[in-house]
Structure 1
Amino acid sequence: MTDDTAGAARRGRLSTRETAERLGVKPETVYAYVSRGLLTSRRTPGGRGSTFDPEEVDALVRHGRRGQDPPGADPEATGGAPAVTTGITLIDRDGYYYRGVDPTALARRHGFEEVAEWLWTGTMTPGIRFTAPAEALSAARRAVEALPSHSGPMDRLRVAAVAAAAADPLRFDLSEDTVLATARGLIATLVTSLPPAGPEPADGAGLARRLWSRLSPAPADDASVRALDGALVLLIDHDLAASTLAARVAASARAHPYAVVSSGLGALDGPLHGAAGGLAHRMLTEVLARGSAAAVVADHLRGGRRVPGLGHRLYPGEDPRAQALFGLLEAVPEAAPALEAAREVAATTARHVPLHANVDLALAVLSVSAGMPAEAGETVFSVARTAGWIAHALEEYAERPLRMRPRGQYRGPRPPQPLP
């Protein structure tokens, strides 16, 4: 025992080493907690180190066990953000799982509405259909129709979510049954408020078939709708992506489900998240027009640009969502040229950089082959991810309010400063 440790023990306080051991962190991390205001240190007169109040240290340990701020986490790695305990999605090196179940298997056997309902409630309800409440749908359609003619489907989704919220006087009821009813109605409203692009489906059609009619002018054959339905299932959640974190922050402040979804849609609007699908769509269109993946890939590399639709930082190999969606698209004859072009892009790029296809490239195959607009992939992503945002909101509503509150590291001038 060092002199500092012995002295701390005599005074009923903990040395830095003892504090680190009790928290299960490195000594450097203890000082990081001090800088963040999570611990208070005291210098011993004539001593060589800091000492800590054991009650304060134990409180921080308990705080971490509740999943609110991990004592063992590296603040540099977490950005000082609180830990988020979730039971929705697990991602590992080779795949991902919804509540322990492989989503690629779910996509082969169940539709989007069934999987969303199961993810929310734990019960698989075969044949369930989400329907839009009349008042919410009317308000959303009027708002969407008021947009400029050049507005894209993502602009329409964002406006529809806000209009549907304004039409729902019960939106502030955060009881589980009401949130679930809101979620079913909101997802149906988002899809049905989009203007038709092709033949309208029959009454009672599944959500994927309704979405197809809003995105593609082509008639909806069964294989194509199965591919779109599978894409929706595969994209419901992917752990704490930027948009999901934004949704959970809103839920932590007890925002209603419409506002939670609007928060997610706002974060998704960035070019580094949801908009990647549009870039892959345009690239694949160019490959088909020029008849050469090599020429298009070369243009991207020569211009110092990344080739869209390739690589994912969470998967060293191919994105499992892309693999599953490619498999579904193989049953769609019209998708064959785009599917071949996508695989040629991946093979050509892999000669120079070890990258694999991600789900954005697979979505581009779907959108290009069906004559959908460039924003279609982002639209599919948004509709699917709405179900995931609701699942995370349900988890967050059960947590302590306003727990998603990291501390800022102030780097400005120290007060007092003269008035400007």
Structure 2
Amino acid sequence: MSDGLDDVVAAHTVLSEVDGAAGRLVIRGHSLAELAGRTSFEEMVALMFDGLLPGLPQGRELSMALGHARADLFGIVERTALADGLGPVEAVRAWTAQIADGEGPDTALKLLAAPAVFTAAAVRKQRGLAPIAPDPALSQAADTLHMLHGEAPTPAQAAALDTYLVTVADHGLNASTFAARVVASTRAGLVSAVLAGISALKGPLHGGAPGPVIEMLDAIGEPANARAWLEDALDRGERLMGFGHRIYRVRDPRADALKQAIARLGADAGRLRLAEAVEQAALAILRERKPGRSLETNVEFYTALLLEALGFPPEAFTCVFALGRTTGWLAHAREQIETGRLIRPQSVYVGPQPRQAA
């Protein structure tokens, strides 16, 4: 038996392969390097759903359908007070639960559009600002930033968010994707599967982790402080956020894709100089202190820098992660519905046995 189901094969999939030893991520026959920075969110959706969701619009029609779905979903924000007093993740989950469940393309389109509308609205409500209606003519990435800030983003900003959404779209049978597949296997519907994914993603051991990277960078402050701060943190028994991964034994390829996206925003975007100094110091210290372990930079580190540079607050980072990963959740859910059966693993009972009567 493997605790945590490590190395247990629970599905056969055409969607993605994670090679932790080689630091390689393959999505539907393409390496991440082929996709990140070259593919839009809409193109990634089309790639992921190829052959899995008959009736899904293609090409320009897909972008238009997503725009109309965002406009329709804004009505949920306008007519309900569900999210009042909730944090962004809980607000997104509560609003998403108002979508009627189903297994077809109309439901999938609404779920793909939902995190864009609901994340921006939740952040603005938290800031005491009125939510901004979607612009169906914009791309998903551009409209997300428009709804967040109240103005159209630059092409570079929209491209940076596209890069992030593509980079995190799918990543094997991670915890949230497995949760979505389990729920899909019961035929509960795509909304239920996505809600399971969101609920798993919010955990600090999964998608809830990028926010603390910002706290670490805030505490370090200047590149010159990096090594001393990091060593003190390790002396206190703390984990260095943004380093190490359950699967990767070398550098997470997604970290490089996101670092390049930040660089393309401009020399002054984000806190790239500080981040690079922290990364170099952390990797050196980890090699010195933990020579038998491979603890490399993971996706969380540059996720935090990129999303901060685009104006998302740390408490909404998990919501933006969900905006990208919903593509993977839905594709896996559809694959499970089409090719799988009810997921029902066994457990090994290790408790006491009933006492036998004399």
Report the Cα distance in structure 1 between the residues aligned to 2:151 and 2:308, rounded to whole angstroms: 12
- State the AA in 2 paired with 1:415: P
- State the AA in 1 paired with 2:238: R
Match of 1:394 in 2: 334
Match of 1:89 in 2: 16
Q: 1:157 to 1:337 in 2, by over 3 A?
A: closer
Report the Cα distance in structure 2 between the residues aligned to 1:309 and 1:219, rounded to whole angstroms: 31
Report the Cα distance in structure 2 between the residues aligned to 1:270 and 1:393, rounded to whole angstroms: 21
Look up the SS of the partner of 2:26 in the other structure: strand
- Structure label with greater radius of gyration: 1
- State the AA in 2 paired with 1:148: D
Match of 2:42 in 1: 113
Tell me which moved more, 356-365 or 256-265.
356-365
- State the AA in 2 paired with 1:209: A
Report the Cα distance in structure 2 between the residues aligned to 1:397 and 1:201, rounded to whole angstroms: 31
Match of 1:333 in 2: 266
Report the Cα distance in structure 2 between the residues aligned to 1:386 and 1:99, rounded to whole angstroms: 16
- State the AA in 1 paired with 2:38: R
Match of 1:231 in 2: 164
- Per-residue deviation, 1:181: 2.5
Q: Is 2:346 the partner of 1:407?
A: yes
Match of 2:323 in 1: 383
Q: 1:307 to 1:215 in 2, by over 3 A?
A: farther
- Per-residue deviation, 1:147: 2.6
Aligned Cα root-mean-square deviation (Å): 2.9
Larger RCO (CA within 8 A; separation ≥ 6): 2
Task: Tell me if the contact between 1:319 and 1:359 (Cα under 8 Å) persists in the aligned partners.
Answer: yes
Tell me which moved more, 404-413 or 270-279.
404-413
- Per-residue deviation, 1:333: 2.3
What does residue range 61-140 of structure 1 map to in structure 2 within 5 Å?
Answer: 78=5, 83-92=10-19, 93-121=22-50, 125-127=58-60, 128-129=62-63, 130-131=66-67, 132=69, 136-140=73-77
The aligned length equals 332
- State the AA in 1 paired with 2:302: A
What does residue range 274-353 of structure 1 map to in structure 2 within 5 Å?
Answer: 274-288=207-221, 292-333=225-266, 335-336=268-269, 338-353=271-286
Task: Tell me if the contact between 2:115 and 2:319 (Cα under 8 Å) persists in the aligned partners.
Answer: no
Task: Show structure 1 runs of 5+ residues with no match.
Answer: 1-73
Q: 1:294-324 CA deviation, whole Å, 9 max, x = no partner?
A: 3432342232111111122322322111101
- Per-residue deviation, 1:157: 1.3
Report the Cα distance in structure 1 between the residues aligned to 2:184 and 2:166, rounded to whole angstroms: 23
TM-score by length of 1: 0.71
Report the Cα distance in structure 2 between the residues aligned to 1:405 and 1:316, rounded to whole angstroms: 30
TM-score by length of 2: 0.83
Q: Give percent identity, aligned residues only.
A: 32
Match of 2:292 in 1: none
Report the Cα distance in structure 1 between the residues aligned to 2:191 and 2:134, rounded to whole angstroms: 26
- State the AA in 2 paired with 1:254: R
- Per-residue deviation, 1:100: 1.4
- Per-residue deviation, 1:111: 0.5
- Per-residue deviation, 1:182: 1.4
Q: 1:195-217 CA deviation, whole Å, 9 max, x = no partner?
A: 17498775411111122234557
- State the AA in 1 paired with 2:35: L
- State the AA in 2 paired with 1:349: A
- State the AA in 2 paired with 1:331: R
Task: Tell me if the contact between 2:216 and 2:241 (Cα under 8 Å) persists in the aligned partners.
Answer: yes
Report the Cα distance in structure 2 between the residues aligned to 1:394 and 1:237, rounded to whole angstroms: 14
Q: Is 2:313 the partner of 1:373?
A: yes
Report the Cα distance in structure 2 between the residues aligned to 1:401 and 1:141, rounded to whole angstroms: 39
What does residue range 186-201 of structure 1 map to in structure 2 within 5 Å?
Answer: 186-193=111-118, 194-195=120-121, 197=124
Q: 1:133 to 1:200 in 2, by over 3 A?
A: closer
Look up the SS of the partner of 2:250 in the other structure: coil
Report the Cα distance in structure 2 between the residues aligned to 1:352 and 1:105, rounded to whole angstroms: 32
Match of 2:87 in 1: 152
Q: 1:379 to 1:417 in 2, by over 3 A?
A: farther
Q: 1:360-384 CA deviation, whole Å, 9 max, x = no partner?
A: 1111111233342112321221111
Report the Cα distance in structure 2 between the residues aligned to 1:75 and 1:337, rounded to whole angstroms: 41
Q: 1:296 to 1:75 in 2, by over 3 A?
A: closer
Q: 1:417 to 1:248 in 2, by over 3 A?
A: farther
Report the Cα distance in structure 1 between the residues aligned to 2:71 and 2:17, rounded to whole angstroms: 37
